[in-house]
Amino acid sequence: MSKGDKYLSRAVLDLAPSGIRRFFDVASQMEGVISLGVGEPDFVTPWHIREACFDSLERGYTMYSSNQGIIELREEIAKYMYRTQGLSYDPEEEVLITVGVSEATDLILRALLMPGEEVMIPEPSYVSYVPCTIMAGGKPVILCTDAEHEFRLTAEELAGKITEKSKALILSYPNNPTGAIMEREDLEALVDIIIKHDLIVISDEIYGELTYGGKKHVSIATLPGMKERTIVLNGFSKAFAMTGWRIGYACGDPDIIGAMNKIHQYTMLCAPMMGQRAALEALRHGESEMLRMVEDYDRRRRLVLKGFREIGMPCFEPEGAFYVFPSIARTGLSSVEFSEKLLREEKVAVVPGDAFGSCGEGFIRCCYAYSVEHIQQALDKINNFIDRNEKKTP
Ligand code: PLP
């Protein structure tokens, strides 16, 4: 028996390691790798936001903030939610500042779940929902989405997986890894089922600002009867290029936000003070720069989509986030085989689709938050790879 087996919790021993990390540990040890793998902006945080952080240090903002986060930031978030989605939240009781959406996800699941209660998770999806559900004592129930339905969650899929233990539904749109969005009518189709079965919706809207082709993000909380049963999670990592600052937030029902804050005060105490001051500047004066970054992602989105289609890899058009999710069916390889072989033979790193759940098998995730030259180089190499690895028809 190893030490781990003896001393570690069963729940942790049973967690599968992240498929993304495992893959990038290999890639990081090779030289000259061109990566389309890491899901973060290639922009440095805009200068005026960094300056706000210097300023906060000069003024001596180096202490703990209130557990819930500085009131100015909560007020600014409430205004932002109203400006962008028409949603009103009371900054005193209905907004909590967290250490990224990552912490907010953990808090909401721990605040809601009794042992064995079920959380419905559409896949392919971001890697943390399943492990966080398990760590909170819940049971993940996977809902499959597919390219045929543009990776949107359908009412049939949701209705078919409901049991008497169903407690919550996670919606994560715009989606990582597919780039799919849910439009108002897609969300409307889910509402009756959600209300009938008294589900709480955890809506991870971290890519909500990153939408393209005239599409605007719609929060499910804006639909009739949904605000009171939806906790909206968002943050600064993606839209404002602030992944390292670790600031996110949750908005919703005051009792649920209060319960999340209870866990937060004992585990995290508060989000970093300097990050909160910088986030305040991002919301007050960061919108035009954010929109410039979104325009830039859009240019690269079109380039990468055209590239994959020219290579002959079918690729659903993503309308949000900064990922494409092309099919690798042509090669007959599994997504792990494809990604490992591509890394070995062409030194290009992508993420196997099955890292985001078994519904992601047959696809790879490519992030396009890289320079145009970098993307073009990667596409040329993927083209060579496909030429050599095309499935031979008998
Ligand atoms: N949610 C989704 C869908 C993500 O893709 C990510 C990061 O990639 C996160 C949450 C984590 O966000 P944060 O940096 O705010 O913790």
Q: Give the CATH number of the domain where residue 233 resides.
A: 3.40.640.10
Give residue 102 CA to ligand 1 midpoint distance, Å: 6
Identify whether residues 172 and 277 lie together within a single domain: yes
- Percent of the chain exceeding pLDDT 70 equals 97
Which residue among 21, 128, 206 has the greatest number of ligand 1 atoms within 8 angstroms of its CB, and so is best to mutate? 206
Closest CA to 69 of 252, 336, 248: 248
Tokens of 119: 């959380």
Identify whether residues 27 and 137 lie together within a single domain: no
Tens digit of each residue's pLDDT (9 = 90 or more) over 106-117 = 999 999 999 999
Give residue 235 CA to ligand 1 midpoint distance, Å: 8
Asked if residue 124 lies in contact with residue 316, where contact means CB atoms within 8 angstroms, the answer is no
The band of 11, judged by pLDDT with boundaries at 50, 70 and 90, is confident
Model's pTM, two decimal places? 0.96
Identify whether residues 27 and 111 lie together within a single domain: no
At 190, give phi and psi (nearest 5°). Answer: -90, -20
Do the domain assignments include residue 301?
Answer: yes
Number of domains in the chain: 2
Do the domain assignments include residue 53?
Answer: no
Nearest atom in ligand 1 to the alpha carbon of residue 99 is: 16
Q: What is the predicted pLDDT for the residue at 354? A: 95
Q: What is the predicted pLDDT for the residue at 27? A: 80
Identify whether residues 220 and 323 lie together within a single domain: no
Identify whether residues 340 and 209 lie together within a single domain: no
Tens digit of each residue's pLDDT (9 = 90 or more) over 75-102 = 999 999 999 999 999 999 999 999 999 9
Identify whether residues 236 and 119 lie together within a single domain: yes
Do the domain assignments include residue 186?
Answer: yes
Q: What is the predicted pLDDT for the residue at 260? A: 98
Give residue 392 CA to ligand 1 midpoint distance, Å: 39
**Could you tell me the residue range of the domain that residue 367 belongs to?**
3-45+288-388
DSSP 99: S
Identify whether residues 171 and 248 lie together within a single domain: yes
Beta-bridge mates of residue 166: 118
Which residue among 21, 42, 102, 172 has the greatest number of ligand 1 atoms within 8 angstroms of its CB, and so is best to mutate? 102
User: Is pLDDT of 1 > 60?
Assistant: no
CA distances 168 to 122, 136, 202, Å, are: 12, 13, 7
Which residue among 285, 308, 327 closes a domain?
285
Identify whether residues 182 and 242 lie together within a single domain: yes
User: Is pLDDT of 19 > 90?
Assistant: no
Identify whether residues 17 and 92 lie together within a single domain: no
The CATH number of residue 15's host domain is 3.90.1150.10
Tens digit of each residue's pLDDT (9 = 90 or more) over 47-79 = 999 999 999 999 999 999 999 999 999 999 999
Long-range contacts of 299-306 (CB under 8 A, 24+ apart): 299/372, 300/368, 300/369, 300/370, 300/372, 300/375, 301/179, 301/212, 301/368, 303/368, 303/372, 303/375, 303/376, 304/366, 304/368, 304/375, 304/379
The mean-pLDDT minimum among 9-23, 52-66, 154-168 falls in 9-23
Identify whether residues 160 and 306 lie together within a single domain: no
Identify whether residues 121 and 263 lie together within a single domain: yes
Which residue among 285, 318, 336 closes a domain?
285
| Ligand 1 site residues, Cβ closer than 6 angstroms | 39, 100-102, 126, 172, 176, 204, 206, 235, 237, 243, 248
Identify whether residues 30 and 144 lie together within a single domain: no
Do the domain assignments include residue 69?
Answer: yes
CA distances 19 to 129, 219, 328, 342, Å, are: 14, 29, 18, 16
**Which is it for the CA torsion 210, 216, 220, 221, positive or negative?**
positive
Give residue 145 CA to ligand 1 midpoint distance, Å: 20
Closest CA to 123 of 190, 188, 169: 169
Give residue 114 CA to ligand 1 midpoint distance, Å: 25
- Cβ-in-10-Å burial (0-12, 13-18, 19+) of 194 comes to buried
Which residue among 254, 285, 316 closes a domain?
285
User: Is pLDDT of 15 > 70?
Assistant: yes
